[in-house]
Chain A
């Protein structure tokens, strides 16, 4: 909420400044100042944690360094490389097939491939462990022909680092798929046709033309995946895989040494900085093609013979293993427990989750818009760095952010408490940490990066220099933003918001630590039942997260899909609209 009010008051100030100095005066200061203020506010909780990093290494740190640190590095690295490659292979191949080829079930796969995004990774992990469990369907079927002792090994094999890698890849590949597909769709059909006319094979066209053009999108997608991987806690902990994140929890909560935990976070951050740098360097080389007028939609290529089925299977496997199989298992459990579990309390959970995620998503997108637009107004190094820094929250484990937020928020609460006591004598309780305010703020800190990426590239492609033209014609920046950019960016704003929405719906550690009394969300409920070793009973809240998460997923897909429907319509206003919607991701 703090961010919302900050932006509001800043907007008021801007209006005041613009009003007083006339519409022609383009003052960059309020935008820069407000952006820096918002970013500083967002970074504050991170700062409050990182103060201790530069002290001398504690005993705990030396202990970790001499025993388990190497394991953490190695395991995290293996997961990053493994999951990165897997999600790229799945994401790119399916996106290519769906965008450029015609085969049975293509339209279904178009949106079906996004569905695994709606399943939280920890639920995926628990569900898969149960699917492979000794009383689970897979072993039961195999035991018809195989010895139970042989099939028992399956589960042990699944609950390992490679197992965790495959399951996380199944849950996360849609990030790559979504972004890559939008990028492929944006590529002009004529470019691909030219390549073919020049005698290059489809294979060659894919490798040498389409893929290099989609590179910034690929990097953006895989960066999101890898940040999620580095942050992963529930699934790897359950599988007994030690990573940086499990190490942070161990140092802080088991060994009671926040400083050592922070050092570990520092190592993790270095890793993330490297990833971000990689993305920047890549994007710097390969810029998006801004040409809008020459755009021609891709004509899909009819696959023949066994290729048709190969494409269908390639797209079908991730959907089956990433969505249908786990959801079927959850549904079976859900039907078992539904009679006693569906009640008023349950509806309340759903409402809580939905409203919380919606409000947080709107605030996050608003903050993202302010930051990206300010950088556009004055692309100074300071602002660019600030924008980069503001997405750090995405790479820091939720529990660490939560504790970081408590420090400044409780300080403010103390002051507010004192003020209210003096004014009215009544005790009002903790205004920030006792309400969802702290949680909302935490979500913005954590998920701003999710909104920044699409907003950034959305601006870059959609608005071109339209807004610059508008400003040079004397329209003040705020008016330009509201009258030119925002309408053009509707699709981008909507899809950025939806991505954040789904992420918040699934989010766990922040909600666990920061929620007020008697306030539960679907995620906290599902997780607690699973932690309590009552997996079947966690099915209903889990299913609701998935169903709720599916709504934006389907909306998103329809938005992107409109592109193909309007493909032949050359009316300029339509074209602008199509472009807005097709920039949904990127």
Chain B
């Protein structure tokens, strides 16, 4: 064997020059730099669970109006709360936006939010849709309703959430899995009103009545009702609204076979949750954060929420989208949404015991 110092690289090496491997590093450097927070320009940093395009358009509009740049990270509220917790007082986030009041309450309990005093916010948002101490504010409302098959069910047969657990609905109920926050909050509201034992009995009743094991998302439940897999499903209103206004004619056609029923109109009202926002405890730009939230409950933003996402505005002076108007007014449960957060863990455990996977 020749002296090892003289071992020459095989031809393949010369074919792929080393330079190419350095190139990406050079590209990466400016990328790293853009990730850093530079200069003192006006910004507001948002952790958001909402990832609708309309939200981004609203943020752009806010920047246009105020000159404040909106920087966003979107992930699930639970993950964002964990991130806030870990970051502590060095957290760069100014605003936390979730799709459920229970999560905002949890953030408040973990001392991740700060109280805000804003006449604009307290005037625009009804009392039960915001934290009494100003830790968080509802941006939009979403009602959890019964979507029923028009050709199998008459609205006369429907009455309450509780009734869905009765034997007449055996093999006819559709629902998504219990990790979903909308189901958790609905159950939490039932624990608050009826007590744990009753709520657990209800969950067991629903499991016994299921047309198939829980699967898919809310849209899937609605489509399954339309296709005859089951007769009635628990879903949020805006998914029905979106399907009724879908680009795909076949989807619109299916959705039109589904009716929307607001349960519990004769007692506490239909379960309503909010998508909401709070200013973080260690926000570096708290003033900008408040301005952003004020903008989001302003008439312009509220109209965008109502018309593009089919959510119910929190402002009473903003008109509803046509689809929402067609479903009519309804009595909403006025349970303070803080309770949803307090009873969340119990709701998870009840679902586990009831076998609602």
Q: A residues within 8 Å of B by Cβ? A: 1, 63-64, 67-68, 71, 129, 133-135, 140, 148-149, 152-153, 155-156, 159-160, 237-240, 242, 246, 249-250, 252-256, 336, 352, 355-356, 358-359, 362, 399, 402-403, 406-407, 410, 413-414, 417, 428-431, 433-437, 469-470, 473-475, 480, 483-484, 487-488, 490-491, 494, 512-513, 515-519, 524, 528-529, 531-533, 536, 573, 576-577, 580-581
**Which B residues form the contact surface with A (CB < 8 A)?**
1, 3-5, 7, 9-13, 16, 21, 24-25, 27-28, 31-32, 35-37, 45, 51-52, 71-76, 78-79, 82-83, 86-88, 90, 92, 106, 176-177, 179, 184, 212-220, 223-224, 226-229, 239, 242, 247-248, 250-251, 254, 344-345, 348-349, 352-353, 357
A208 to B216, CA, bound (A): 45
Q: List 10 A-B contacts (CB under 8 A).
A: A159-B215, A242-B177, A254-B179, A355-B27, A402-B79, A428-B36, A430-B87, A484-B7, A487-B9, A490-B13
Asked if B216 contacts A240 (CB within 8 A), the reply is yes
State the CA gap A496–B16 with chains docked (Å).
16
Taking A134-B254, A512-B74 as known contacts, 11 extra A-B pairs with beta carbons closer than 8 A to each other, sorted by chain A number, are A249-B179, A254-B179, A336-B247, A355-B31, A358-B24, A362-B25, A430-B87, A434-B37, A483-B7, A483-B9, A513-B75
CB distance from B307 to the nearest CB of A (A): 17
Whether A573 pairs with B76 at a CB distance below 8 angstroms is no
A159-B216, A532-B51 given as contacts; is B82 within 8 A of A253 (CB)?
yes
Judging by beta carbons under 8 Å apart, are A533 and B71 in contact? Answer: no
By a CB distance below 8 angstroms, the chain B residues around A152 are 224, 227-229
B contacts with A: majority SS = helix
A413 in contact with B90 (CB, 8 Å): yes
Nearest CB of chain A from residue B180's CB, rounded to whole Å: 10
Say yes or no: B223 contacts A134, CB within 8 Å. Answer: yes
C-alpha spacing A480/B223, complex, angstroms: 63
Docked-complex contact B83 and A406, CB < 8 angstroms:
yes
Dominant secondary structure at the A interface: helix
Contact of A406 with B87 in the complex, beta carbons under 8 Å: yes
Structural contact, B72 and A517, CB atoms closer than 8 A: yes
Q: A428–B37 Cα gap in the complex (Å)?
A: 7
The answer to whether B90 and A240 have CB atoms under 8 Å apart is: no
- Across-interface contacts of A155 in B (CB, < 8 A): 224, 227, 229
Going nearest first, the 9 A-B pairs with the smallest beta carbon separation are: A429-B37, A253-B78, A240-B215, A435-B35, A517-B71, A135-B250, A134-B227, A152-B227, A406-B86
* Given A253-B78, A254-B78, A487 and B357 contact (CB-CB distance below 8 Å): no
B184 (CB) vs chain A CBs: closest residue: A254
Assess whether A487 is in contact with B10, with CB atoms less than 8 Å apart.
Answer: yes
Q: How far is the CA of A252 from the CA of B11 in the complex (A)?
A: 53
Chain B contacts of A140 at CB under 8 A? 250
Closest to B50 in A: A532
Chain B residues within 8 Å of A512, by CB: 74-76, 79
CA distance A490 to B213 in the complex (A): 50
Alpha-carbon separation in the docked complex, A484 to B2 (Å): 13
A256: nearest chain-B partner, CB-CB: B345
* B248 partner residues in chain A, CB cutoff 8 A: 135, 536
Set of chain A residues within 8 Å of B220, measured between Cβ atoms = 129, 159
Which of B75, B86, B90, B217 has a CB less than 8 Å from the CB of A238?
A: B217
Known: A483-B7, A487-B9, A517-B92. A528 touches B74 (CB 8 A): yes
Instruction: Contact check, B51 vs A528: say whether CB atoms are below 8 A apart.
Output: yes
**B12 in complex: contacting residue of A63, A475, A490, CB < 8 Å:** A490
Q: Is the CB of B10 within 8 A of A403?
A: no
Given contacts A255-B345, A519-B35, contact A149 B228 (CB under 8 A): yes
User: A64 to B24, Cβ gap below 8 A?
Assistant: no
Closest CB in chain A relative to B216 CB, distance in Å: 6
> Known: A240-B357, A254-B78. Contact between A429 and B227, CB under 8 A?
no
Write out the residue numbers on chain A whose beta carbons fall within 8 Å of the beta carbon of B177: 237, 240, 242
C-alpha spacing A531/B82, complex, angstroms: 20
Cross-chain contact B25 with A359 (CB below 8 angstroms)? yes
Q: Which of A63, A239, A403, A518 has the most CB of B within 10 A?
A: A518
Residues on the B chain within 8 Å of A577, using CB? 10-12
Are B86's CB and A67's CB within 8 A?
A: no
User: Do the beta carbons of A576 and B179 come within 8 Å of each other?
Assistant: no
Contact B11–A255 (Cβ < 8 Å): no
Assembly CA distance A200 to B11 (angstroms): 41
CB atoms of A487 and B13 under 8 A apart:
yes
Cβ of B142 to closest chain A Cβ, rounded Å: 13
- With A484-B7, A577-B10 given, is the CB distance from A417 to B90 under 8 Å? yes
Q: CA separation between A255 and B178, bound complex, in Å?
A: 12
With A129-B216, A513-B75, A516-B35 as given contacts, are A355 and B28 in contact (CB-CB < 8 Å)?
Answer: yes
Q: Nearest CB to that of B177 among chain A residues?
A: A240
Q: Which residue of A lies closest to B27 (CB)?
A: A355
A410 with B90: in contact, given A156-B212, A359-B25 (CB under 8 Å)? yes
**Across the interface, which residues of B come within 8 angstroms of A406, CB to CB?**
82-83, 86-87
A548 to chain B minimum Cβ distance, whole angstroms, is 14
Instruction: Given A254-B78, A403-B82, A475-B5, verify A240-B224 contact (CB < 8 Å).
Output: no
